[in-house]
Amino acid sequence: MKSRVNYVEFACGRKGSGKSELLARRAARFARRIILDFADEFAGAYRGAYESVGFGETLDALEDAVTRPNWIVVCSLLPEEVVKLAALLSPPGRPRAGLSYAVGGLALECGEVDIIAQTGAALRPEVANLVHRGRHSRTSMLLATRRPRDVSRLVTSQMDVLSIFRQQEPADIDYVASFASSDIAGQVAELGDYEHVQVMPHSGRVALIGADGTERMLLSAQTG
Ligand SMILES: Nc1ncnc2c1ncn2[C@@H]1O[C@H](COP(=O)(O)OP(=O)(O)OP(=O)(O)O)[C@@H](O)[C@H]1O
Ligand SMILES: [Mg+2]
């Protein structure tokens, strides 16, 4: 697989399966991060982080943050406000006019992506644009959900890395089977604590990753 500086990673699995921990590990590689804190779990989590409530405060935080080389903005936004943030980061049609490009790239983290991109609900064009064209504005997205089947295909079709933690609901296992083989989907029900199956949809590579984050087994190397 072509290595991508900007990418979309999508993690799914049950409550407590390790999604946030994994994405936090990935996010640590980014100097500039925006965390959409819908579950109110990141208050006080990062020393020196900006914490904002609402779009206005988030704008103020970003305005201050961009003068620094490294920063984290933890924001509590309504879905409507995320639409405005998406347009600010990567304006539809003008990705290089966005904030992400101006700062040299950033990671947008969302642990409950079903809140902003639900199956069946119309995906807002600003959000769709960010997911589909975010690379052009240097936005990477680190996304997670407990309910993968509730996340719009318009989002999941863009992922570069899919990390699947233990799932037991048949509908979620079917979802996994749509990206990997049904054999692999079966294994997802048997995963141990914090283990996950990592699927690279572009190359077809599938691997079992252990709780310590290292690769345990190559499950499929198929390319194309
Ligand atoms: N690889 C790991 N090794 C050891 N402990 C882990 C690992 N991953 C997560 N944990 C611990 O398990 C707990 C739950 O993990 P985490 O918050 O990542 O779950 P989650 O999938 O994001 O759950 P939720 O759906 O509730 O957001 C945390 O206390 C975390 O520290
Ligand atoms: Mg979590």
Residue range 26-76, pLDDT digits in tens: 999 999 999 999 999 999 999 999 999 999 999 999 999 999 999 999 999
Say whether pLDDT at 180 is over 80: no
φ, ψ dihedrals at 77, nearest 5°: -125, 155
pTM: 0.94
Protein residue with its CA nearest to atom 18 in ligand 1: 18
Say whether pLDDT at 3 is over 50: no
Query: From the alpha carbon of 212, which atom of ligand 1 is closest?
Result: 1
Question: Is the domain defined by 8-220 classed in CATH 3.40.50.300?
Answer: yes
Contacts (Cβ under 8 Å, ≥6 apart) of 222: 203, 204, 205
Taking the C-alpha atoms of residue 191 and residue 210, their distance in angstroms, rounded to an integer, is: 9
Q: What's the pLDDT score for residue 1? A: 36
Tokens representing 158 are 């863009």
Q: Where are the domains of the chain?
A: 8-220
Q: Going along the chain, which residue ranges are E strands?
A: 8-12, 32-36, 50-53, 71-76, 106-110, 139-145, 161-164, 196-200, 205-209, 215-220
Give residue 2's pLDDT band: very low, low, confident or very high (50, 70, 90): very low
Taking the C-alpha atoms of residue 147 and residue 66, their distance in angstroms, rounded to an integer, is: 34
Query: From the alpha carbon of 24, which atom of ligand 1 is closest?
Result: 18
End-to-end CA gap in the chain: 10
Minimum mean pLDDT range among 90-94, 131-135, 188-192: 131-135
Q: Determine whether the shortest distance from the Cβ of 17 to ligand 1 is under 6 A.
A: yes
Task: Note the pLDDT tens digit of each residue in 140-175.
Answer: 999 999 999 899 988 888 899 999 999 888 888 888
Task: Note the pLDDT tens digit of each residue in 73-128.
Answer: 999 999 999 999 999 999 999 989 999 999 999 999 999 999 999 888 888 999 99
Q: What's the pLDDT score for residue 179? A: 78
- Ligand nearest, relative to CA of residue 193: 1
Q: What's the pLDDT score for residue 145? A: 94
How many angstroms separate the alpha carbon of residue 15 from the centre of ligand 2? Answer: 7
Query: Do residues 181 and 219 make contact, with C-beta atoms less than 8 angstroms apart?
Result: no
